[in-house]
Structure 1
Amino acid sequence: MNFIKNMDLKNKRVFLRADLNIPISQDGKIIENYKLKQILPTINYIQENGGKVILATHIGRPDPKEHTNFYDETLSTKILIPWFEENGYEIKYKIDLIKAENFSHENFSKILLLENLRFYHGEKGNSLERENFAQILKKLADIYINDAFALIHRDDCSINELILKFSPKDRGFGFLIDKEIKELNKIKYNPEKPFLVILGGNKLETKIPLLEYFLDKDEKTKPNSIIIGGAISYTFLASQGFNMGQSIVDNTKIDFAKKFLEKAKEKDIKILLPIDHVTIFGIQNTKNFQENESAIDIGPDSIKLFSDEIIKAKTIFINGTMGIYMQPESSTGSKEILNTIANSDSYKIAGGGDCIAAINLFNLQDKFNFLSTGGGATLDYLAKDVDAQELPGLKNL
């Protein structure tokens, strides 16, 4: 794979595929700018070495299938322009890709910002649409740089088909992907023990490959303990016969949860689950959960149980939250657990959109060693015993 520092960028137009899919408020304001900050080293390097930045990203999940000329102002990349300008960057914005080709040759000090790639049929369309889209995008640039780590497990045209339009010497990756892989490799291949993994959130299905992978790891790399909190924990508790009332339980994953807990015990991996919960009626013990109750956060005893495990660890990876962290009545679990991690002596890495958003909300970002921009991509990379270049978005670099 070509690292951008080993490529000649002088007088070259550089197609930079970034992931600037950031949370936007209803009135069009940027809520959280972490991903924007992370792409700046690559943008700066291209400009400092004589290249022209052709900046491409998607925002949200627009569906242009039913429209010939799809456009949604709330998901337009125009939203990003004020932030870049406030940080000293000159921006030229184009929605018409044919006309954009003319501007790609002009004023190398200006960033050419393309419209949301997912507004165009070819980004997620059929093979013919994708091929045509790739050809149009190729005309905009001489070099292709992928720095969208959060999308390396996706099959978008700009991630997969487009790169093949460039010769191998003109394909590369940026500083963010380089940093992501180096940091994640520390916990994937050589975690200092005790190694603790903390998983939360409400999407158990996305965590399953990683949980299964941990069961196959050797003594050097397997976690010593795994904390499972948030909504995904209710399925594990239900698999042990606990009545979780109206809480979210994935009945299709009960069998997986039961077998996982059994195998983890065989592998001597300690599993910690919540022992009490916050409900709309107050604090409830796992053993005494009522049929009409619904858990929205972990309780104080669970916070103590998890915190005691956290302070023992030398390496911690966390993905997901303990409750609905945006609401005051269900944010305590996430806040306390993240605070304990942040103030521990461990090497700490966090990943996942909600987890990173919570860390920023509680102003803890400077206390973590690394915040991964990937959600599913981070989990996929950690869960596969393969080199980074075998991931879909990197295999052709």
Structure 2
Amino acid sequence: MSVDGSLVLRVAALGDGLTEDGRHVALAAPGDRVDTDGTIHFGPHHQEPPCRHFPECGGCQLQHLDDATIADFVRDRVLNALEANEIVPDDVAPVHLSPPQSRRRAVLHAINGPKGPRIGFTKERSHHVIDMSECHVLDPRLFAMVAPLRALLGNRLAKGGAAEITLAIVDQGVDVAIKGARFEGLEGHDAIIDFAEQHGLARLSLDDGYGPEPRWEPRPVTISFGGIAVPLPPGAFLQATADGEAALIEAARGGIGDAATIADLFAGLGTFALSLGQGRRVYAAEGERALVESLKAGANAARLHAVCEHRDLFRRPLETAELDRFEAVILDPPRAGAREQSIRLAEAKTPHIAYVSCNPASFAKDAARLVAGGYRLRRVTPVGQFRWSTHVELVGTFER
């Protein structure tokens, strides 16, 4: 068969290869050629996927691409979103890609099958659970829990029943939270304790529909930012990898410079407030009360000059007069972005802004408001901490 097919030019947003004649071709890489019958002839940027579950498993979409192409994809996702809003940054930092087997937090699914529980990520755009026998994105300490959890859940799921398992690496080891499994009576209690002891867990929590409740926690579980230990509520949000988190922090550090007073908005547990706040005066606002209490405990223990406030920044953003008190603002909103807060920021006199985003599209819309208000987008740092995924993060730094 001829290899004079249509050339794949780039990778589209969902991971498909886009050809010169406008076709979207699954599992095609730039430089591949695609015949009219869909046959792909591999080019120089196509690599052998390392995992047997690819592409069926929805945890990865880009394992068929080499690292250079993945970096281009991450960068282009950010720049294309900015271009759509007529924004050109002064500088684009090199793309940061987290290495394989570095995911320190993941949510897996379990479902009762004819041969027992299947545990893994779900199939792309499906509720079908891929029974994980290997994984090249999870930290090995997390993957090591999959087989034991499969045995633990062997008779704990209803027929056709499903459970959700949240795994995280914390200061004390591995933290496990299970939602949807049945551990009833004394026998269920003993099974939990025996399992946690046998595998040296930092904590094991169960969620019966009313939120996770720790059933095993021999020592208070913490996570550290900038060397400051913070109490970690069960199931609380963490950056996916310690490596990616460090890249985001360093990019934000460059954006705020030597500012003596900073505001950390959508502060979470204090990833940025604690890592960058030492030696500065810090105000941190977060809408989830449990996270605020943890952040406050960590800041107080470290004797930081920090004020931590429980505040819904969607309904009650900081007003311009409040923002003008700070030399720098860091914000790390959810995927929807920070529309109301960015409107106020656009009118503020704050010299420096570091905007951390997990959604280039919402970031670009907020960036357009800031630029219209007189800020310059000095630098963007694209970050791909979800290895082989189409999920892209970034830090944009602005100056007035």
The structure carrying a bigger helix percent of its residues is: 1
TM-score, structure 1 normalization: 0.36
The structure carrying a bigger strand percent of its residues is: 2
